[in-house]
Copies of this chain bind each other. A is one copy, B any other.
């Protein structure tokens, strides 16, 4: 029943263990980015250190990417299947200040920046803060 998950991992050269399948499945079911403490709560059977290393492995092999949304806790979201985590794959993240949820906005082009001379650029992290559509509807 985990063929899809296992394929995803094997494609990224990650050994598909049961634990990793559980984490990946959970992350695929979410619309918002996840944090280590959040995974810890939802998967009580799993150890913090295991989850930490699972996320690290996923990140190193470009199955997920890390998001620093300013909430004080690192979050992680799935990469697209074709993701190479290079400039073309960069996208904006939206952080809801009400529900603390963080979402990838893949459709919005990332802003261009021209740096002062002497500076070289490797990537741009843009976090848009505001209120998401869910929270706006509740109000």
**Residues in chain A within 8 A of chain B (CB atoms):** 68, 70, 92, 94, 97, 105, 107-108, 110-134, 136-137
Given the known A-B contacts A125-B127, A126-B125, are A132 and B114 also in contact in the complex, defined by CB atoms under 8 Å?
no
13 extra interface residue pairs, beta carbon distance < 8 Å, beyond A105-B115, A122-B130 = A108-B113, A110-B111, A111-B111, A111-B113, A113-B128, A115-B128, A115-B130, A119-B131, A119-B136, A120-B131, A123-B128, A124-B127, A125-B128
Decide if the interface of chain A is mainly helix, strand, loop or mixed. mixed
A96 CB to closest chain B CB (Å) equals: 8
In the bound complex, do residue B119 and residue A133 qualify as a contact, i.e. CB atoms below 8 Å apart?
yes
Specify which chain B residues have a CB less than 8 angstroms from the CB of A108 in the assembled complex. Answer: 113-115
Q: What's the Cα separation between A115 and B92 when bound, in Å?
A: 10
Given the known A-B contacts A70-B68, A105-B115, A108-B113, are A124 and B126 also in contact in the complex, defined by CB atoms under 8 Å?
yes
